[in-house]
Amino acid sequence: MKSLISVVSASIHPRNSNRTNLTALARLLTILVILITTYSVVFHWLMEREDQHHSWMTGFYWTLTVMSTLGFGDITFESDAGRLFSILVLVTGIIFLLVILPFTFIEFFYAPWMRAQEKSKAPTKVPAATERHVIFTHYGPVAQMLSRLLEEYGHPWYVLVPTLEEALRLRSEGVPVIMRDRSDPETYRRLNIDKAAMVVTTLDDVTNTNVCFTVRELSENIPIVASATTEMVRNALELAGVTHILRLEEMMGQTLARRVIGNDAKAHIIGELDGLIIAEASAAHTPLAGKTIATSNLRGYTGVTVVGLWVRGQFVPAEPDTEIHSHTVLVMAGSKDQFEKYDELFGKHEVHEQNKVVIAGGGRVGRATAEALTEAGVEWTLIEKLPQRVAHMKSTIIGDASDFDVLVEAGMQDAASVIVTTHEDDLNIFLTIFYRRLRQKMQIISRCTHESNASRLHRAGADVTLSYASMGANTIFNLLRSNDTLLLAEGVNIFSVNVPDSLVGKTLADSAVRSRTGCSVLALECNGERDISPDPFDPLPKDSRLFLIGTLEAEREFLEKFKPELEG
């Protein structure tokens, strides 16, 4: 019985080795043979006491029929001792044949087989021919949005996960996964790291540092983008070999602060494509508000070209008759000198009213927003539930951002703007609805983690919505394709191409690039000189480059119709 108990106890724990499984099964079968033999001997002894005589074969036959619960047939005991023995054999058979052996088979053979089948669905390496692929260590909101852009541009991508459970979950969602240890160099060899386009790691600081160090051991040139929660982590990541450190909280905070009406009208650079600078500027409290793109004559005054506008968080391509409002944020293209001229004319303005801002949420984004507002000279008050987050910050109120008394203490009734910065989209939507009901004319700026919630925030009453996922995806994508593409917003980008042979000698007016493809020409570069918004009636010279803006669909249409030779 001690041996039987030990075997049953051992069977509770899963076996990973076939040899172990077979050994355990052999022990159980040996115990079963011993029990059958012992019961057959006892059967003969009890039958002899009842003056019944049977062969040894009959003894084994009786024992097996009783243990298998098939019945006694024509062989039965007449004494109570014999019937008690029959009960013992029957119970042993039920336990062994109906419980222990099936459980053993499932645990030692069927379950490992099922696990092996599941594991086979989680690959541990990429196909040998895979190249120009992006490797993610986490499939969060940024990776989800970026993956769509990668697919548009033909970049394969894979998510590296350490556990089978996570691999199967993501695989069921259609995500290409590789299941391996993130800190094992062999993992990245299996990922064709020498042919990959980029590694993006957005986990905790320690894991990100380990990933950077491991990847850099195998490849000196591959770009590595890593997130960092604090400035102190920067040194560790740089020592580990990171190429670009992603501080999305700081970027989000600075952008949220710039969206405050009347905060700043200067041009802020948001990207650069081979020397062509793209910047954005608020039109509030400037002479531009109330005019159209054509009547503003921005190009005549400064040389910059308006390529689009941010309207309620959405990017709108610029048309000559597009009206500029006080809430409008202009997106412009030009040179450094041209933007300096813009700042001289429109970047300085007087704000007569007190532009106080209330910040709801004192996390990393909220604190970064407060710092950006301080640099801009804007008064702010921050509301945060957890004292430890903002223990050393001035102008902070500890409390619930939905508590009316807390809002009164923060000065919500006099604030020009409120910025909602919590990391929970549902909470941001709730606070936006609440604040909009309290004050109809106050500017409400909100962040969201998932791009899909941006439209819900606008319906809730937000004037401006900034997506954490969109900002991160755009930043990484621009780093990946910095030679020939600058993404301004999801689906809207600036790209450069050599002038196609089919357009050489033709004018932009004759070629009808915009009407045929949806792309607009921003600049023409010839012999090292760049002309912003070239004359549509000048012939396009050979060996020159075009800078264009358009949606992804428009870009594909241009490439298919004119088949230019791409740069980079």
Give this prediction's pTM.
0.71
Q: What is the pLDDT of residue 5?
A: 44
What would the DSSP string read from start to end of 484-498? Answer: TEEEEETTEEEEEEE
CA–CA gap between residue 116 and residue 111 (Å, rounded): 9
Asked whether the predicted pLDDT for residue 402 surpasses 80, the reply is yes
Q: Do residues 204 and 235 touch, judged by C-beta distance below 8 A?
A: no
Convert the pLDDT of each residue in 139-178 to its tens digit.
Answer: 999 999 999 889 888 899 999 999 888 888 898 898 999 9
**Cα distance between residue 122 and residue 161, in whole Å:** 10
**Which SS3 state, helix, strand or coil, does residue 223 take?**
coil
What per-residue confidence (pLDDT) applies to 7?
44
Band (426; pLDDT cuts 50, 70, 90): very high
Contacts of residue 377, defined as CB under 8 A and 6 or more positions apart, other chains included, come to: none
277 vs 269: CA distance, rounded Å? 7
Please state whether 302 falls in left (phi above 0), alpha (psi between -120 and 50) or beta: alpha
- Alpha-carbon span 462 to 443, nearest angstrom: 8
pLDDT surpasses 90 at 17: no
Region 245-255: what's the mean pLDDT?
A: 89
Q: Give the 3-state secondary structure of residue 465.
A: strand
Reported as a pLDDT band with limits 50, 70 and 90, residue 312 is low
How far, in Å, CA of 385 to CA of 231, rounded? 24
Identify the pLDDT of residue 392.
67
Domains in the chain with CATH codes: 2-120 (1.10.287.70), 134-246 (3.40.50.720), 264-346 (3.30.70.1450), 357-470 (3.40.50.720), 491-562 (3.30.70.1450)
In the three-class reduction of DSSP (H, G, I as helix; E, B as strand; rest coil), residue 189 is classed as: helix
For 364-373, what is the mean pLDDT? 92
CA 149 distance to own-chain centroid = 12
- pLDDT band at residue 103, thresholds of 50, 70 and 90? confident
How high is the pLDDT of residue 101? 72
Task: Report the interhelical angle of 2-10 vs 18-49 (nearest 10°).
Answer: 150
For the segment 336-343, the average pLDDT, to the nearest whole number, is 90
Task: Look at residue 9 and tell me whether its pLDDT is greater than 70.
Answer: no
Reported as a pLDDT band with limits 50, 70 and 90, residue 13 is very low
* DSSP SS3 for 394: coil
Most confident of 343-347, 442-446, 478-482: 442-446
As to burial, measured by CB atoms within 10 angstroms (0-12 exposed, 13-18 middle, 19+ buried), residue 70 is: exposed
CB 223 within 8 A of CB 199: yes
Range with the largest mean pLDDT of 43-57, 95-109, 346-360, 371-385: 371-385
Residue 567 has pLDDT above 60, yes or no: no
Report yes or no: 548 and 521 within 8 Å, Cβ to Cβ.
Answer: yes
Residue 568, pLDDT score: 45
Instruction: Read off the pLDDT band of 352 (50, 70, 90).
Output: very low
**CB–CB of 269/279 below 8 Å?**
yes
Indicate the burial class of 560 (C-beta count within 10 angstroms; 0-12, 13-18, 19 or more). exposed
- Cα-Cα-Cα-Cα dihedral sign, residues 544, 547, 548, 553: positive
Q: Is residue 10 over pLDDT 70? A: no
Asked whether residue 12 carries a pLDDT value surpassing 60, the answer given is no
**Residue 117: pLDDT band by 50, 70, 90 thresholds?**
low
**Could you tell me which of 324, 375, 317 has the C-alpha nearest to residue 346?**
324
Can you give the pLDDT at residue 8?
44
Instruction: Give residue-wise pLDDT tens across range 189-245.
Output: 999 999 999 999 999 999 999 999 999 999 999 999 999 988 788 889 999 999 999
Q: Please answer whether residues 195 and 132 qualify as being in contact, where contact means their C-beta atoms are separated by less than 8 angstroms.
A: yes
CA dihedral over 22, 27, 30, 35, signed as positive or negative: negative
Does the pLDDT of residue 559 top 90, yes or no? no
User: Can you give the length of the chain in residues?
Assistant: 568
- For residue range 521-556, what is the model confidence (pLDDT) as tens digits? 888 988 878 888 788 889 999 889 898 888 778 888
φ and ψ at residue 466, rounded to 5 degrees: -120, 130
Average predicted confidence (pLDDT) for the chain = 84
User: How much is the pLDDT for 113?
Assistant: 65
Residue 404 in 3-state DSSP? Answer: helix
Mean predicted confidence (pLDDT) in 313-340: 84
